[in-house]
Amino acid sequence: MAFENDVVVVGGGGHVGLPLAIALASRGKRTTVYDVSQHAVDRIQRAQMPFVEPGADEILKDVVASGMLTASIDPAVVASAENVIVVIGTPVDEHLNPDPNAIPRALATCAPFFRDGQLLALRSTIYPGVTALVRDMVEGLGVDMDVAFCPERIAEHKAMTELFELPQIVSGYTPESIARAGTLFGSLTDQIVELTPEEAELAKLFTNTWRYIKFAAVNQFYMMANSKGVDFERVRAGLTQDYPRAQDMPGPGFAAGPCLFKDTMQLAAFSDNTFQLGHSAMLVNEGLPLYIASQLDEAHDLSDKTVGILGMAFKAGSDDIRSSLSYKLQRVLRFKAKDVLATDPYVPVGIDSSLLPLDEVIERSDILIVATPHGEYRDIVTEKPVADVWNLLGNGVLI
């Protein structure tokens, strides 16, 4: 059966889908992006990245100019491709419960355009068992499609290297679906890891949860030391120096973003809420903004102070504010301080109109907090107190 395109990426205008679409197009796969965001599609058609992803801009221009990458808001493009990659993940609601049926519901828009002979590959993090739900949905449609789960493993801002360097996990319910998924993602890397769908679903959740727990352990260590007047960064530097068994200990900081917290809560739900370690990690990581604000209030009495927050994105060098703990810090401080100002060199004012220039925030603030360790803040010189849990300025992390 002939297909006009090799790949369509459903939800392909975002941080997971677009780098993947660009990478596949650069490897000779005729690729189209389907996304409901007209803004994202328009920018892709103009060969402009809708967000910051180092290394993607020039490749995007090349693949759009060559016709290897196109974009559309019309779900009918799903019928044009042999491989349908879905980058819609399982959401967690306000009660921290995952919705396993969210992906099958989201696919309802595309389902009328599924065709016999296609491979449907789920890509984003999903609740265990969702691949089976999608397989059953496809069977119920009477469409002869192979179904696979091939989890993304990239870190934001490293996509254009990690897509080609990291092993790709593929899974499916038949040897044919596994082989097809392996061939598709083998265009990016020679290292293919084959698992069952259930194994692959847990592998993705375990990976993100492991990182979240490590960050929680360090953040708890930081709070322990800081509460006793000890600079945790000096402790960490000492214990990691030329000591191999401690080299994987990260520094403290906000463990935020759209994946780590959400995926830990998915795993907690999967274990019937018996995952005490995951819940404890959540309490520590989500509690760090309040701890920092309370320590500053105790040391400085914030009631008559203006506090400046440096960085509102969830990670350094990013314009992505999804699940950023900087905003939680901002909300807490508004109850404690006279005024709260914020700045970020990457987040557009169109996304957060309250953001001010860095110089103005420094000038007007009595106290500063490095909330996101953007490199632009490394050279700040000020006599004002700075809470720097990341030790970006090199003066320690003691508050």
**What CATH number is associated with residue 233?**
3.40.50.720
pLDDT recorded at residue 102: 79
Residue 224 sits in the same domain as residue 268? yes
Alpha helices in the chain, H assignment, sequence order: 17-26, 38-45, 56-65, 102-106, 130-141, 159-165, 175-185, 197-227, 232-240, 260-270, 276-300, 325-336, 358-364
Shortest CA distance to 177 belongs to which of 80, 78, 84, 77? 84
Residue 59 sits in the same domain as residue 130? yes
CA gyration radius for the chain? Answer: 23
Residue entry with tokens 């691949």: 131
d(C-alpha 210, C-alpha 341), whole Å: 34
Residue 171 sits in the same domain as residue 209? no
User: At residue 230, what are phi and psi to the nearest 5 degrees?
Assistant: -110, 135
Q: What is the pLDDT of residues 356-383, one digit of tens each?
A: 999 999 999 999 999 999 999 999 999 9
Number of domains the chain is built from: 2
**Residue 95, domain member (yes or no):** yes
Distance of CA 363 to the CA centre of its chain: 33
In the chain, the largest separation of any two C-alpha atoms, in whole Å, equals 71
Residue 279 sits in the same domain as residue 352? yes
Residue 143 sits in the same domain as residue 281? no
Residues of the chain predicted below pLDDT 50: none
pLDDT recorded at residue 219: 98
pLDDT recorded at residue 126: 86
Any residues with CB less than 8 A from the CB of 394 and at least 6 apart, and which? none
Residue 185 sits in the same domain as residue 210? no
Residue 153 sits in the same domain as residue 207? no
Residue 58 sits in the same domain as residue 150? yes
Which uninterrupted H or E stretch holds 369? strand 367-370
**Residue 81, domain member (yes or no):** yes
**Residue 207, domain member (yes or no):** yes
- Map residue 317 onto helix, strand or coil: coil
**Residue 254, domain member (yes or no):** yes
d(C-alpha 144, C-alpha 201), whole Å: 23
Which uninterrupted H or E stretch holds 321? none
pLDDT recorded at residue 1: 66
Q: What is the pLDDT of residues 306-355, one digit of tens each?
A: 999 999 999 999 999 999 999 999 999 999 999 999 999 999 988 999 99
Residue 189 sits in the same domain as residue 215? no
Q: Which of 195, 227, 259 is the last residue of a domain?
A: 195
**Residue 360, domain member (yes or no):** yes
d(C-alpha 127, C-alpha 380), whole Å: 43
* Angle, alpha carbons 330-336-341 (nearest 5°): 40
Q: Which of 144, 173, 195 is the last residue of a domain?
A: 195
DSSP state of 79: G
Residue 238 sits in the same domain as residue 118? no
**Residue 156, domain member (yes or no):** yes
Q: Which of 147, 172, 195 is the last residue of a domain?
A: 195
**Residue 264, domain member (yes or no):** yes
**Residue 96, domain member (yes or no):** yes
Residue 208 sits in the same domain as residue 315? yes
Residue 299 sits in the same domain as residue 378? yes
- Map residue 85 onto helix, strand or coil: strand
Shortest CA distance to 333 belongs to which of 300, 366, 289? 289
* Domain membership of residue 261 as a residue range: 203-387
